[in-house]
Amino acid sequence: MVRLSKIVMQLQRRERDGFSQGKPLWSRAIATPAIEFGPTPLPILTGKIPADLRGSLYRNGAGRLQRSGQRVDHWFDGDGGILAVHFTDAGATGLYRYVQTQGLQAEDAADQYLYGGYGQMAPGPFWKRWGAKPKNAANTSVLALPDKLLALWEAGNPYALDLDTLDTLGVEDFDTLPPGQPYSAHPKQDPKTGDLYNFGVVFGRKNYIQLYRSNASGQIQQQGQIPLPRISLIHDFVLAGPYLVFLVPPINLALLPILLGTQVIVVDRHTLTEVSRFDTEPWYQWHFGNGYQADDGSVVIDYVRYADFNTNQWLKEFVTGHPITQASSQLYRLRLDAIAGNVIANEPLFDPDCEFPMVPSQSVGQHHHSLVFCYKSQTINEEFFDGIAHLDPDSGQCRLLQFPTGHYPIEPIYVPGSQGSGWILTIVFNGHQDQSTVQILPADNLDAGPVCVLALPEILPFSFHGTWQARNSS
C-alpha cells in the first residue's frame, strides 16, 4: 500500500511538472484535481494556534478542473470541493470533500464531461446543446447555518452538507425554492438582527432579481422581485444600512459582452421594493467589500473595480496556467445619494491589483474600519496574488503582508478575537515545495506575518470564497 501511494505521488508530480513547465509556480496548484482527505490532524509547522481561535473555517472552490485528459473551458466550471478546518482544544483537524452533486456523480460514472456550465459547452451537436440546463457545480461559496453547511452556486439551488463530516445531504430548497431557482453565492447577514439577505437573477419572458430575506436558520421569510433592464451578470450585491444595493454590470449577455453603462438599483431592505434606479459611468465588478449609510445619509460602498469585462477572459485562461489577458482591478469607494438617485463620488482607495475584499462579520452593513483583501505586488498578467492587505478606508492606514516569491494566498477570512482585533485566516500554496498550508495572521499586526502555520496533507487548488463559524470548543 505504501509503495502504491509513492507511485501515485510520483505520477502526480510528473503531471504537475509537465503542466507547469514554462508557467508561473502557482500553476502547479491547479495541475491535477484535488485529492479528498480527512479527517486529518494538521501538524503545526511554526508557531501555535491562538487560544481563542475555536470554530470552523470552510472554503469552497473549483477542485476538479480536468477529467480524462480534458480541461474545463473556464475556472468557474470546475466541480466544487469543500475544505473544513475545525479548531478545538485538541488542535486543528482538516478534511476535504467534493460536493456530490448530481452532475458530478453522473460524470464520475461516465468518466467524461456531460454538461455545459458557465463557460463550458456541453458535448454533442449544437441542436442538442441548445436549451440544455447547465451543471450545478456547487463551487463558489459557503454559508454556515446552525445545522448545515450550504455549498452555493448562483445559478441554482445550494447543496446542503454536514457541518462536521462534509457529507453531501442533498439539494437545499428551504421548503420554498423550486428546483433550479437561482440563489446567489454572496448572501449578507445583518450582525444585529441575524437576518440573511440574498438574491438570484432570473432570465426568461421577463428578467428580474429575485430577493430573499431569511432568518438566522436560513428559512426564507420574505421575497420580492426587482425588474432588470437586460440580461446581465450580477455576481454580488451589498447590504448598506437600510438598503440593498445592486450594480448592474455594463454588459449585455443577450447580445455580446459589450460595454454599456453601470445601472445602480437601490432597494429598501425591509419592504424589498425599489427606492431608486439610475445610470452612471461604465465599469465591471465581481465583489463588494461592504456598504453602510453615513451620518449625512449618503450610502458608502467599497468594491473592486475593473475597467471592462476582460476579467472574464483572464479567468477563462486561468485554467491553462498561463493567462495573458490584461485585467487590472483596483479598490474603489462609491458614495451615493440613494433617495435622489445620483453618484456623489467614486474614487480609488488602493491602486495595486486586488480582489476578494472582506470585513469582520460584525461590520457587515455597518460603518467599517477594517477591510482585508488579496493584492498583487507585480502588475504582470500571468501572476497570481502574492500579498494580503489590511486597510482602514477612512484614514487610509494600510498594513501589507507580501509573501515570499512562489507563495500564493487566497481570500482572507476575518475571525473576531476574544481580545484585540482578531485573526485573519488564509490558505497559502507554496509552489517551491508543492505544499498548501493554513496560515493564521494577527489582524492588528498583519505585516508581522503568521502566528501559526499548519500543513495540509494535500495540495489544494485555489478556492473562491469561505466563511468562519464560531463553535463551542471540545
Residues of the chain with pLDDT under 50: 4, 254-257, 473-474
Where on the phi/psi map is residue 199: left (φ > 0), alpha (ψ -120 to 50), or beta?
A: beta
- How is 390-426 classified by DSSP, letter by letter? EE-TTT--EEEEEPPTTEEE---EEE--SSSS-EEEE
> Quick one: pLDDT at residue 220?
97
- Residue in the structure block whose three cell numbers are 456547487: 138
> Quick one: pLDDT at residue 379?
75
> Quick one: pLDDT at residue 382?
83
Cβ–Cβ under 8 Å, residues 424 and 439: no
Residue 458 CB contacts under 8 Å (≥ 6 apart), including other chains? 34, 35, 37, 96, 436
Tell me the CA distances in angstroms from 343 to 265, 267, 279, 280, 336, one per residue in order.
12, 16, 9, 7, 5
Q: Where are the domains of the chain?
A: 2-468
Q: Looking at domain 2-468, what is its CATH homologous superfamily?
A: TolB, C-terminal domain (2.120.10.30)
> Quick one: pLDDT at residue 127?
57
> Quick one: pLDDT at residue 474?
45
pTM metric for this prediction: 0.95
Cβ–Cβ under 8 Å, residues 468 and 415: yes
**Nearest Cα to 61, choosing from 173, 137, 115?**
137
> Quick one: pLDDT at residue 252?
62
| Interior angle at CA 345, CA 344 and CA 347, nearest 5 | 170
